[in-house]
C-alpha cells in the first residue's frame, strides 16, 4: 500500500510539472490566431529582415539619383562682404610716383552678390555610372526578394515545427490516457486476485514514462511557439493559436507539374539568380564608366552678379565659360580600376553558372524528398493502424486473463513509435513541399 501511495504521489508531481508551463504562461491578452498562409504572408511583408531589405532598396534608388546629379544643372547663389587692407609692397609691383598710394592701403569694403550655374554637356562616364547605379538598384531589389523568400521559408518551417510539436503533444496525451487505463485495469485485476503485483508495477512504470514524455513534448511546443513569434517579428510572449495541422493540403504553392517546368520556373523566379545577374551587369557597366573617363568632358558654366565698394555703386559683372577637359595619364590608376571590375564581372559569371546548376539540383532533391515522403506516409499510416490493432488485441487478452500486461506494454510501446513515425512522415511530406517551393523561388506563395 505504501508503494502504491508513493507511485500515486510521483504521478501527481509529474502531472503538475506537465501543467506548469501552461499555468506559468497563462495569456494576459487574447491570443493571436494564425493560419499557415497568414504566417507566410506576414513574414514575407512585415518581418524585420524584410523591412531592412526594403530600406536598402531605398538607399540604392537614392544612389541612382546621386549619380544622375552629375548630369543635371548646378545652380548656386552667394553674397560676400569683404573688408580688407593690403600693402603695395607685398604685391611686388612698384607704382609710379604720379600714383602715390598710402601704404598700407586703408581698410575698404567690397560687396559681391552672384548667381552661378553650370551644366555638363557631354560626359559619357557619368552616363555609364548612372546605368551602373540603376543596375545595382535592380540587384538590391533582387536581394530584397532573397530576403522575402528566406523570411517566408523561416516562418513556414517554424510554423510546421510548431504544428508537429502540437501533434506530438496530442500523441503523448493519448499515450498517457492508455497508460492510466492500464493502471486502473491492473489495480482491479490485482484486487480481484487474478493478476500479480508485477503487472501493476509495470503499468505504473509505463504511466510515469508517458507523463515524462508528455512534459518534454509540451516544452517543445512552447519553444516552437517562440520560434514562430520570432520568425514573424513578434514579442516572444505573444500567445499564439495555430489553426492548421499536418494535413496533406498544407504547404501548397504555385508550382509547375513536372521537373523540367519546375527547373525553368526556378531559373526565372529565383531572386538569388537575379541578384547575381545584376551584380555581374553592374560590374561590367562600372568598368565601361571607368573606360569612358578617357573621353573628353564638355561643361558650360557661368555666373552673373554685382560687385562694388558700396551696394548702391555695385557694378554688374558676368562670366561665361566653356570648358573641355581630356585626361591623359593618371599613373595607370584608371586601368587598374577597370581591370578590377573585369575580374569582378568574371567572378560573377562563374557564380552565376554554378548557381544555375545548384538551382536544378535543389529542384531535383526536393522532388526526390517529396516522392520519398509520400511513400513513407503510406507505410507509416499502415504501421499505425497495425499498432493500434495490436494494442487493442493485447488489452482484450489482458482483460480476459489470457496473458499478463507485458504484451499490452510492448504493444503500447510499439504504438508510441508508430505514432511518432506517422507524425514524422506527415511532417516530412509537408517539409518537402515547402522545400520544393523554396527551390522554385515561390516560398512567399505558400499556403
Tell me if 235 is assigned to some domain: yes
Residue with cell 554637356: 121
Number of domains the chain contains: 1
In the three-class reduction of DSSP (H, G, I as helix; E, B as strand; rest coil), residue 62 is classed as helix
Residues 342, 347: Cα–Cα separation, whole Å: 9
Report, as ranges of residue numbers, the positions in the chain whose pLDDT lies below 70. 1-30, 91, 93-101
The cell for 173 is 496525451
Burial class (CB in 10 A: 0-12, 13-18, 19+), 23: exposed
- Residue 88 located in a structural domain: no
pLDDT of residue 25: 45
Render 382-399 in DSSP notation, one character per residue.
HHHHHHHHHHHHHHHHHH
- Whole-number pLDDT of residue 247: 85
Q: Is residue 28 part of a domain?
A: no
Let me know if residue 93 belongs to a domain.
no
Q: With 0-12 CB in 10 A as exposed, 13-18 as middle and 19+ as buried, what is 397?
A: middle
Round to whole Å and give the CA distance between 149 and 160: 16
Q: Give the C-alpha distances (Å, rounded to integers) separating 446 from 95, 246, 248, 323.
A: 89, 14, 14, 59
pLDDT digits (tens, 9 = 90+) for 19-72: 444 434 444 545 789 999 999 999 999 899 999 999 999 999 999 999 999 999
| Residue 98 confidence (pLDDT) | 65
Given phi > 0 = left and psi -120 to 50 = alpha, else beta, which region is 213?
alpha
In a domain, 34, yes or no: no
Whether 94 is in a domain gets the answer no
Residue 405's domain comprises: 2-23+42-83+103-445
Does residue 270 lie in a domain region?
yes
Write out the three cell numbers for 399: 482483460
* β-bridge partners, 316: 306
Set of cell numbers at residue 158: 517554424
Collect all residues with Cβ–Cβ distance below 8 Å to 223 and sequence separation of at least 6.
165
Query: What is the phi/psi pair of residue 217, to 5°?
Result: -65, -40
CA distance linking residue 398 with residue 401, whole number of Å: 5
For residue 432, give the 3-state DSSP assignment: helix
Q: Residue 179's domain is classified under what CATH number?
A: 1.20.1600.10
Cβ-contact 297, 324 below 8 angstroms: yes
Residue 95 carries which DSSP code? P
Give the angle subtended at the CA of 136 by the CAs of 134 and 142, to the nearest 5°.
110
| Cis-peptide into 43, omega within 30 deg | no
> Tell me, what DSSP letter sits at residue 166?
H
| Per-residue pLDDT at 130 | 93
Residues 6+ apart with CB under 8 A from 337: 290
* The three three-digit cell numbers of residue 154, written as one number: 523561416
Q: What is the pTM of this model?
A: 0.81
Please state, in angstroms and rounded to a whole number, the distance separating the CA atoms of residues 108 and 119.
35
> What was the pLDDT predicted at 350?
95
Query: What phi and psi values does residue 114 have, to the nearest 5 degrees?
Result: -150, 145
| 95, part of any domain | no
Largest pairwise CA distance in the chain: 145
DSSP code at position 69: G
Amino acid at each position: 500500500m505504501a508503494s502504491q501511495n508513493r507511485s500515486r504521489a510521483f504521478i501527481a508531481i509529474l502531472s503538475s510539472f506537465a501543467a506548469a508551463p501552461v499555468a506559468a504562461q497563462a495569456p494576459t491578452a487574447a491570443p493571436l490566431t494564425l493560419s499557415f498562409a497568414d504566417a507566410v504572408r506576414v513574414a514575407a511583408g512585415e518581418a524585420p529582415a524584410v523591412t531592412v531589405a526594403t530600406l536598402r532598396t531605398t538607399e540604392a534608388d537614392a544612389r541612382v539619383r546621386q549619380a544622375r546629379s552629375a548630369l543635371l544643372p548646378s545652380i548656386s547663389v552667394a553674397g560676400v562682404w569683404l573688408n580688407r587692407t593690403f600693402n603695395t609692397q607685398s604685391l611686388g609691383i612698384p607704382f609710379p610716383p604720379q600714383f602715390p598710394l598710402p601704404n598700407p592701403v586703408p581698410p575698404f569694403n567690397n560687396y559681391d552678390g552672384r548667381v552661378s550655374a553650370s551644366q555638363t554637356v557631354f560626359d559619357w562616364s557619368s552616363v555609364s555610372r548612372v546605368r551602373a547605379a540603376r543596375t545595382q538598384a535592380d540587384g538590391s531589389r533582387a536581394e530584397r526578394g532573397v530576403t522575402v523568400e528566406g523570411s517566408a521559408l523561416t516562418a513556414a518551417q517554424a510554423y510546421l515545427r510548431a504544428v508537429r510539436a502540437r501533434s506530438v503533444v496530442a500523441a503523448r496525451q493519448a499515450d498517457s490516457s492508455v497508460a492510466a487505463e492500464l493502471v486502473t485495469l491492473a489495480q482491479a485485476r490485482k484486487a480481484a486476485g487474478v493478476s500479480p503485483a508485477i503487472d501493476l508495477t509495470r503499468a505504473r512504470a509505463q504511466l510515469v514514462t508517458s507523463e515524462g514524455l508528455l512534459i518534454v513534448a509540451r516544452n517543445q511546443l512552447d519553444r516552437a511557439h517562440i520560434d514562430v513569434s520570432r520568425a514573424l517579428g513578434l514579442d516572444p510572449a505573444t500567445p499564439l493559436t495555430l489553426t492548421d495541422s499536418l494535413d496533406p493540403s498544407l504547404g501548397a504553392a504555385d508550382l509547375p507539374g513536372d521537373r523540367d517546368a519546375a527547373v525553368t520556373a526556378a531559373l526565372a523566379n529565383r531572386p538569388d539568380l537575379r541578384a547575381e545577374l545584376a551584380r555581374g551587369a553592374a560590374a561590367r557597366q562600372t568598368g565601361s564608366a571607368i573606360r569612358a573617363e578617357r573621353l573628353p568632358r564638355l561643361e558650360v558654366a557661368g555666373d552673373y552678379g554685382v560687385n562694388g565698394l558700396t551696394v548702391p555703386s555695385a557694378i554688374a559683372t558676368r562670366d561665361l565659360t566653356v570648358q573641355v577637359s581630356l585626361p591623359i595619364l593618371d599613373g595607370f590608376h584608371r586601368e587598374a580600376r577597370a581591370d578590377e571590375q573585369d575580374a569582378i564581372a568574371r567572378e560573377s559569371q562563374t557564380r552565376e553558372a554554378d548557381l544555375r546548376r545548384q538551382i536544378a539540383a535543389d529542384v531535383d532533391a526536393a522532388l526526390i524528398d517529396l516522392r520519398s515522403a509520400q511513400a513513407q506516409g503510406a507505410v507509416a499510416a499502415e504501421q499505425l493502424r497495425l499498432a493500434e490493432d495490436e494494442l487493442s488485441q493485447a488489452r482484450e487478452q489482458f482483460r480476459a486473463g489470457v496473458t499478463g500486461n507485458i504484451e499490452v506494454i510492448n504493444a503500447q510501446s510499439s504504438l508510441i513509435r508508430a505514432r511518432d513515425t506517422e507524425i514524422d512522415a506527415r511532417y516530412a511530406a509537408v517539409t518537402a513541399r515547402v522545400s520544393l517551393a523554396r527551390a522554385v523561388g515561390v516560398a512567399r506563395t505558400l499556403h
